[in-house]
Amino acid sequence: MRRWLTASVLGYFLYGLFIYWYLFMTSDGALPQHLEGTPADPKTFMNGRELLLSEQYSKIKDFLFFVTAPFEWFLFLVMLITGLARKFQHWAEGTSRFFAVRTAIFWFWVSLVISTVSLPVEYISYYLSKSYHISTQTFPSWMKDQLIDFWTNYAIMVLIVGVLVFLIRKFHKRWWLAAWALSVPFSLFMMFLQPVVLDPLYNAFYPLKNKDLETKILEVAKRADIPAEHVYEVNMSEKTNSMNAYVTGIGSNSRIVLWDTTLEKLDEKEILFIMAHEMGHYVMKHIYIGIGGYLLLSFAGLFLVKQLMEWLISQRGKRLNIQSSGQLAAMPLFFLLIGVLSFASSPLTNAVSRMQEKSADMYAIEMTRDKESAVQTFQALSKSSLSRVNPPELVKQFRYTHPTMAERITYMDELVILENNK
């Protein structure tokens, strides 16, 4: 056990050193020379202090992302090799004869350990955002969100864990296929619930106060054949200075949502461009493409997890303190493998997402015919979030679901040039 713990800690430490070296020693975020002085150059729309803060904040934020991504996997591994997961299972089994109650008790202890150990890391991220004036959220409000996260995630995970263990025990060879089949309606159900049940737990949503702007947004939606009757505003200024807008939900629960920070910091033309961009996702059915991609990846992922779990238990089950994949104590291993595979596949999913975001940008230009507002919007988004317009390649591949701001501004600017040349 000591050897495994030592190797795990050393591997995690060396990984952190590599990420630090990559982000702070080798990547300077410099623009290619041909972009200097163009609208994509942050020196043209940020002052010296904003440039410095953007560089500092982005590096620290990226570092935290990479070092915390495997942190939960590490905790799961520690639970397994120290026998803590097996002990939680014994406690649950000694409490009740009902499987549902045992599952709830077992996952409560797992969730409590992970949340408690992770809380300082979460606080560092919150403190960082607060220090750089990205977050405006008070500490009590932040703690309230942490508690909501804990209980909502716990409720969902108890259901998932219970169903998984039941399927593994009932369909020993084909449980992964049954789990995949059930994950499809479950994911769609959660997407349907999110805008009306989950999101309001964190923020207040209400119809857009600016009715003139709402009318113009709905006119764009009508031209795009989007059946929207209202635009919603959310009071994000209580928590952040960043800006955002999105279309969420599916079916009758679909919503067009604007953060109030976006309404405060952008003019009407820029807001209409953002809204047209979001509508582009709807028109081009990106949500259904995303669901299709999820089906393929989850099919392959669950099959791989099943194979890896069986191999690890047969080869290292004694060291991991589990005898079969149908134990509650084996669930940390399942979610460890899911986390690793999800992280490994993120460059692929992010690349697809970036293609969709670019096509949504192009759709927004077709709808608004206002490239100047598009460029100004991207510049404003960079300033408000203190994000680098040209991040290092590793950061882009693993973190960016959108094209970088340099890419977005550049292809907008080139589009202007091409049209002028015509």
Q: SS3 string of 342-403?
A: HHHHHHHHHHHHHHHHHHHHHHHHHHHCCHHHHHHHHHHHHHHHCCCCCCCHHHHHHHCCCC
Residue bearing the bigger pLDDT, 338 or 8: 338
| Residue 84 clears pLDDT 50, i.e. is over it | yes
In order, the DSSP letters of 181-199 are: HHHHHHHHHHHHHIIIIIG
What is the per-residue pLDDT for 251? Answer: 64
Rounded Cα distance between 54 and 39, Å, is 17
CB 198 within 8 A of CB 189: no
Q: How many domains does the chain have?
A: 1
**Residue 173 domain flag:** yes
For residue range 164-218, list pLDDT tens digits in order: 999 999 998 899 999 999 988 888 888 777 777 888 888 888 888 888 988 888 8
Percent of the chain with pLDDT over 70: 96
| Residue 268 is assigned to a structural domain of this protein | no
The yes-or-no verdict on residue 30 having pLDDT over 80 is no
In a domain, 12, yes or no: no
Kindly state whether residue 227 falls inside one of the protein's structural domains: no
Tens of pLDDT, residue by residue over 362-393, are 999 988 888 889 999 999 999 888 888 899 99
Quick check: is 353 in a domain?
yes
Give the chain's mean pLDDT.
Answer: 89
Within a domain: residue 45? no
Candidates 278, 393, 414, 419; catalytic one? 278
Please check whether residue 217 is in contact with residue 275, taking contact to mean a CB–CB distance below 8 angstroms.
Answer: yes
Percentage with pLDDT > 90 across the chain:
56
CA pseudo-torsion sign 230, 236, 241, 245: negative
Average pLDDT over residues 100-108: 95
Task: List the structure tokens of 19.
Answer: 């990420």
User: Could you give the CA distance from residue 149 to residue 154 in angstroms, rounded to a whole number?
Assistant: 8
Least confident of 109-118, 179-188, 271-280, 412-421: 412-421
Q: Residue 422 has which token pair? A: 């015509």
Query: Residue 235 corresponds to which tokens in the numbers above?
Result: 């009071």
Instruction: Establish whether 419 is a catalytic residue.
Output: no
260 part of a folded domain: no
Q: Does residue 328 form part of some domain?
A: yes
Distance CA 36, CA 39 (A): 8
Q: Which residues pair with 205 in a beta bridge?
A: 234
Give yes or no for a contact between 364 and 276, defined as CB atoms under 8 angstroms apart.
Answer: yes
Q: In sequence order, what are the residues at sequence separation of 6 or more whose Cβ sits closer than 8 angstroms to the Cβ of residue 422?
A: none
User: Residue 418: which pLDDT band, with cuts at 50, 70 and 90?
Assistant: very low
**pLDDT score of 253:** 67
The alpha carbon of 43 is separated from its chain's Cα centroid by a whole number of angstroms, namely 29
Q: Write out the residue range of the structural domain in which residue 370 sits.
A: 61-203+285-378
In this prediction, residues 323-349 reach a mean pLDDT of 94
Q: What is the pLDDT of residue 160?
A: 94
Classify residue 268 as exposed, middle or buried by CB count within 10 Å of its CB (0-12, 13-18, 19+). middle
Helix (H, G, I), strand (E, B) or coil at 134: coil
User: Phi/psi at 26 (nearest 5 deg)?
Assistant: -115, -25
Burial class (CB in 10 A: 0-12, 13-18, 19+), 270: buried
